Structure 1
Amino acid sequence: MRRTPRRYAVPPHEWDAHTYASLDLPHQRWGAGVIDQLRLTGSERVLDLGCGPGRDTLRLLSLLPEGHVVALDASERMLEELRRQLAAHSEARGRVTVVLADLREPLPLSEPVDVAMSVATLHWVPDHPAVFRHVARVLRPGGRLVAEAGGRGNIAWVRAALWRAGVGGSPVWDVTGGGVWNFAGVEETEDALAAAGFTDLHVELVPDPAVLSRGEQLETYLATVVLGAHLRELDPSEHAAFVRTVAAELPEPVIDYVRLRISATRR
C-alpha cells in the first residue's frame, strides 16, 4: 500500500555525523572548489555556513595563518564531530569560533565577517531570501558570499525512486511550507540575492552526478547523506529495509546531482 505523503515542518538538523565524516563524499570536491573561489589572502574572518563535521573548516585554517573561522551549523552532532576534529589540531586553538545556529534565524555573530561560504547546505533551508538577508547583515560591505547547493532538477532519480517506493514523491519545499528540499533555480536565486543587498552576481546550475557501487556503498550514502528527513519519520527498525527499497528503485547506482553555484558581493 502506498504511504501517505508527509509534510515536513523543518529540515533535518541532526545527522549521523561520525559516518558522514568518514565517507568519501563529493562534498570534499565541492568544498575545495568553493574555497578556491574565495581568493583568501590569509588574514580574513571567514564564516563557514553549514560547516558540518569540519572538513572545510580545517582546510580554511590552513589558508588563514592570521585569520579566523566562524564554523556555524544547526546540528549538535555535526558540531560535536567538528570539536573532536579540532582537538587533534593544536594550531586551531583560538582560531575557530563554533556556533550552533539555524540559518532561518538572524545569525548570532558578535563581529562581522569578511567572507561567507557554504557547501551543500542551502537546499535544506526553505527560505533562501531570509538566509541571504541574514548573511548580508553579518558580512562587511564588499565581502563575498560563495556557495553551492542542490539546485533545480537535483536528485531527480532519487525523488522518482522515492515515489516508486511509496512515499508520495518526497516533495520539494513550496510556498505552503511543505517538503524536504529547496532546489532553487538561477533567476529566483539572483532575485533573492539582489533583494538582500548583493551585487556582482554569478549563479549557475551544473550537473555533477556521483557514481557509486550497488550494495553497501550506495545504501550507506543514501541513508547518511540523502534520506535523513525520511528516516526520521520512520521507526529505526524500518530504516534498513526502506533504504534498500529506494536503492533498488534507482535505475543506476548514481546520485544525479545538479549543483546551484553562487558567487556574490555585499554592497
Structure 2
Amino acid sequence: MAGGTRDWDASTYDRVSTPQQAWAAAVIDRLGLQGDETVLDAGCGTGRVTALLLARLPRGRVIAVDGSAAMVAEARALLDSERVEVRLADLTELELSEPVDAVFSNAVFHWIRDHGRLFRVLAAALRPGGRLEAQCGGSGNVASFYAAVAAVVADGGFSELEGFDPAHFAGAEETERLLES
C-alpha cells in the first residue's frame, strides 16, 4: 500500500471475501482476454481471484502483486504454476522489466491513498494500447459504518477514532481526473 505495506490475516480474508470474488469475475469478463496475454493482478490477495484469471489465460501469464506478506505467502501456496509470478510489493513503487497487456485490480484501490502515484505506476506498466480494468466496490457501501464511527466520536467516546479513515474511496470525478493526468 502507499507509504508502506499493510498486513492481513490471509485465512480470515479467504473465509469472508466471497463478494470480492463475485465482483472480480465481472471485471475479468470486461478484460476481453484472448488467452495469451500477460496481465498484472494489482492486489492479488490470497490468489483465489488470480486463479480465476489464470484459467482465462491458458497461453498467457499473470504477475500477481500484493503488499501483504501473509497474502503473498497464501497466494504462492495456492498458485502452483509456471505461468504466474507472485510478488510482495507496494503497488505505488512497482517496477516491471517488461510491459503487460492489461492491468486487473479488484477491491484494492481504496486501500491506497495516493491514487495519482498509483495510476502513474500502473500506466507505466502497460504496453501501448494496454488496458486497465478495476473495481473498487466500496464507494458508498461503508457509509453507515463511517456514520456510526462519527456518532460515537461525537458522543465523546473513543476520541482516538477521531478522523478515522482506513480506506479512501475516491469519487468518479476525482478518479477520472487522476486517470487522465
- Cα displacement (A) at 1:25: 2.2
- Where does structure 2 lack aligned partners over 5 or more consecutive residues? none
Task: Say whether residues 1:189 and 2:175 are aligned partners.
Answer: yes
- Cα displacement (A) at 1:149: 1.0
The question of whether the paired residues in 1 share the 8 Å contact of 2:8 and 2:71 is answered with yes
- Where does structure 1 lack aligned partners over 5 or more consecutive residues? 1-8, 173-178, 196-267
Q: Percent identity among equivalent residues? A: 50
* Mean CA deviation greater in 9-18 or 145-154: 9-18
The question of whether the paired residues in 2 share the 8 Å contact of 1:45 and 1:113 is answered with yes
- Cα displacement (A) at 1:53: 0.3
- Cα displacement (A) at 1:23: 2.6
RMSD: 2.0
Task: Say whether residues 1:102 and 2:90 are aligned partners.
Answer: yes
1:95 aligned partner, one-letter code: R
Task: Say whether residues 1:59 and 2:52 are aligned partners.
Answer: yes
Task: Say whether residues 1:135 and 2:135 are aligned partners.
Answer: no
Alpha-carbon distance between aligned partners in 2 of 1:137 and 1:124, rounded to the nearest angstrom? 20
How is 1:143-182 mapped onto 2 (pairs within 5 angstroms)? Answer: 143-165=130-152, 166-167=157-158, 171=163, 179-182=165-168
1:152 and 1:59, CA in 2 relative to 1: closer, same or farther beyond 3 A? Answer: closer
TM-score, length-scaled by structure 1: 0.61
**1:261 aligns to what?**
none
The question of whether the paired residues in 2 share the 8 Å contact of 1:72 and 1:101 is answered with yes
1:139 and 1:184, CA in 2 relative to 1: closer, same or farther beyond 3 A? Answer: same
Aligned partner of residue 104 in structure 1, secondary structure: helix
1:170 and 1:78, CA in 2 relative to 1: closer, same or farther beyond 3 A? Answer: farther
1:62 aligned partner, one-letter code: A
- Cα displacement (A) at 1:143: 0.6
- Cα displacement (A) at 1:45: 0.1
**1:112 aligns to what?**
99
The question of whether the paired residues in 2 share the 8 Å contact of 1:47 and 1:115 is answered with yes
Going by fraction, where is helix more abundant, 1 or 2? Answer: 2
Alpha-carbon distance between aligned partners in 2 of 1:167 and 1:180, rounded to the nearest angstrom? 16
The question of whether the paired residues in 1 share the 8 Å contact of 2:37 and 2:61 is answered with yes
2:173 aligned partner, one-letter code: E
Alpha-carbon distance between aligned partners in 2 of 1:40 and 1:167, rounded to the nearest angstrom? 48
Alpha-carbon distance between aligned partners in 2 of 1:170 and 1:191, rounded to the nearest angstrom? 29
Alpha-carbon distance between aligned partners in 2 of 1:156 and 1:12, rounded to the nearest angstrom? 25
Q: Which has the larger radius of gyration?
A: 1
